[in-house]
Structure 1
């Protein structure tokens, strides 16, 4: 950057601020800090890209993506000394505040719970979800808000038993074999006809699209900044 014609012909090489910038950018401290920033930001950017993709309905994956993101940030920062641990605690508080305060909604919980790729992932994954109080509360709140009426809500709750116990067509070998190979919304369309109330509810939740428009506005601002 400092060897470009634009930089050399500008006022900054001889300006005190420009000299200070050169000094900082050439220091090891600056690049060590940049490395730390990348450890934190790379997993977050992966989530943003996933949210903004047109390849799949991302609503069914957001809840898990955030949890995976936190784990990746923690792993990237390491646990070798007190500074590493303190930095992770600080980042964890920030991520939890943003997730819990602005992003974590009943809709995300319901979409995660009703994604068969997660619910049927292992022999114990369904039990883990059932014991997750916040997840179940979010699911039930979402059902209460989106159900057509009280009878529809009751039927959706009864249909959840079929989902949980793999009863009927949902538990057939073909349905279980397709859990990881087709999109969640397509799985429900294909195999959920025996639980029509739940099927309709699921399609209205995990069939939603999402976007990273606020982030795109920030990126557009960055594009307008001078490269030097």
Structure 2
């Protein structure tokens, strides 16, 4: 795996997590490339705010070990200490890009949408409905009968887009739920749980709830689709810029081009993009994606130009810059050596852009090298969050006295064995083009092992609203005072 980093480069990602058993904090570091993601190291950290300097001291030895020239970018969450650390690292390693986790940023967009008045009104009705059904066994048994065993999805505290996934799962069971509240079986529930059950009956019989709920899902589905794409495995750098633009246009179309309807959504997307996610590298990556370029989905503009200039500055030595300009001109003018041969056109719509450059970019070797490094990177640090699941599996109540060093050793073995088992799948993911239209934003929840009662009881007094607990400036990032 390490041998491939010279050609494709790699991404370093990091996050901070608190275990719920001993209240200990850990910081982790993973390395991602087209050949897969590897859990590199983790360390326990003392309680309290962690400075940017601490994060720099944790990341720098790994950058030196891997080789700064092999690291293309560093991806973290949006905590203020991580933001400051990235600025320090950019000064220390001028050839490395630093970006924010796209999955977290898009989830923040969805949280902002969740706070819109019309959306919030529907969400605050959907959430108690799910809570009631899963807290009352009699109601749950009846629901499962009328939904033919299909479950509803509950909004999670930290799960991406969970509020909208919950609403979508209710809307998909509209017919079954309407039959349920009209049945004689439900009369027994209403007799024992009078107020809550009758409130749920009124909600399910309210056509306005179903109409507005479907409208909300139609508006947010394009954004959730982008979130699912960047939250998954694979090198998505070449797709994010165009995918968000397309999401905005799809939202506009879903609103029937009515400005008063789509502008609140557009404003939220633009605000979060400019505040948390905007990096010239995304525009450059989209422009270097041959499928998008050939089909005129991305054109040269100020963002693209700045991105290309930054890429040249960071990834090339000065003596290569003149030849890079000539090679870039060949790409921009769609030179026959790049775009007219049969093989090039056969795979431009089916292969991953990194693979296209690897096979078809030999006539522009300097641009080929830059394009492969950029297009081989992910957009998010979601692998770090999945890594914390391995920590939770190892650090259980029965094994709560494990030394931190022992915990990290066990996680290292467990996580990397899992990642190794996915090597073949990763090879396929990073060989084929990503079709965002094929991403399922709201998967079916059928016959789930739910076990929701205790979780929902704990959240009983919680206000309706965003599902994520870590805002961009605090929580698990342990920001500075």
TM-score category (smaller protein): 0.7 to 0.9
Matched, 1:28 2:207: yes
Which piece of structure 1 moves more, 99-108 or 62-71?
99-108
Partner of 2:359: 190
User: Residues 22 and 211 from structure 1, CA distance in 2 versus in 1: closer, same or farther, beyond 3 angstroms?
Assistant: farther
Counterpart for residue 477 of structure 2: none
Q: Deviations over 1:108-130 (max 9, x none)?
A: 11110001101111xxx28x713
* CA distance in 2 between partners of 1:137 and 1:225 (Å): 49
C-alpha change, 1:44 and 1:224, in structure 2 (3 Å) is farther
Kindly provide the CA deviation profile for residues 70-117 of structure 1, in whole angstroms up to 9, marking residues without a partner as x: 1111111224xxxx5312111111111122322231121111000110
Q: CA RMSD in A?
A: 3.5
What is the TM-score of this pair, normalised by structure 2?
0.39
1:58 paired to 2:232: no
Q: Deviations over 1:117-153 (max 9, x none)?
A: 01111xxx28x713x2222223323332x22332234
How many residues are aligned here?
A: 212
Task: Decide whether the 8 Å contact of 1:51 with 1:212 is kept in 2.
Answer: no
1:107 is aligned to 281
Q: Alpha-carbon deviation of 1:169?
A: 2.7
Runs (4+) off by over 4 Å? 1-4, 6-10, 17-22, 214-217, 223-228
SS of corresponding position for 1:112? helix
Q: CA deviation at 1:9?
A: 7.4
Aligned pairs for 1:202-217 (under 5 A) are 202-211=371-380, 213=382
Aligned match of 1:220:
none
Q: Match for residue 71 of structure 1? A: 249
Q: 1:170 to 1:95 in 2, by over 3 A?
A: same
Rounded to whole Å, the distance in 1 between the matches of 2:332 and 2:207 is 54
Matched, 1:129 2:299: yes
CA contact (8 A) 2:311 2:370 kept: no
Instruction: Name which of structure 1's ranges 157-166 and 105-114 shifts more when overlaid on structure 2.
Output: 157-166
Distance 2:299 2:287 in 1: 7
Name the structure with the higher helix share. 1
- Aligned residue number for residue 263 of structure 2: 89
Q: 1:24 to 1:9 in 2, by over 3 A?
A: closer
CA shift in 2, pair 1:88/1:140, >3 Å:
same
Give the structure with the higher percent strand: 2
Give the distance between the partners of 1:212 and 1:36, measured in 2 at CA.
31
Instruction: Tell me, yes or no, if structure 1 residue 151 matches structure 2 residue 325.
Output: no
* 1:38 corresponds to which of 211, 217, 220: 217
* Secondary structure, counterpart of 2:350 in structure 1: coil
Shift of 1:207: 0.9
Q: What is the CA–CA distance in structure 1 between the aligned matches of 2:238 and 2:253, rounded to whole Å?
A: 24
Distance 1:133 1:24, change over 3 A: same
Task: Specify the alignment match of 1:13 in structure 2.
Answer: 193
Q: TM-score if structure 1 supplies the norm length?
A: 0.76
Single out whichever of 199-208 and 155-164 deviates more from structure 2: 155-164
- Aligned equivalents of 2:327, 2:268: Cα separation in 1: 38
Give SS of 1:129's match.
coil
Which one scores higher on RCO, CA 8 angstroms, separation ≥ 6? Answer: 2
Query: Residues 78, 109 of structure 1: CA spacing in aligned structure 2 closer, same or farther, 3 A cutoff?
Result: same
Contiguous gaps of at least 5 residues in structure 2: 1-129, 141-187, 390-449, 458-481
Alpha-carbon separation, structure 2, partners of 1:200 and 1:224: 50
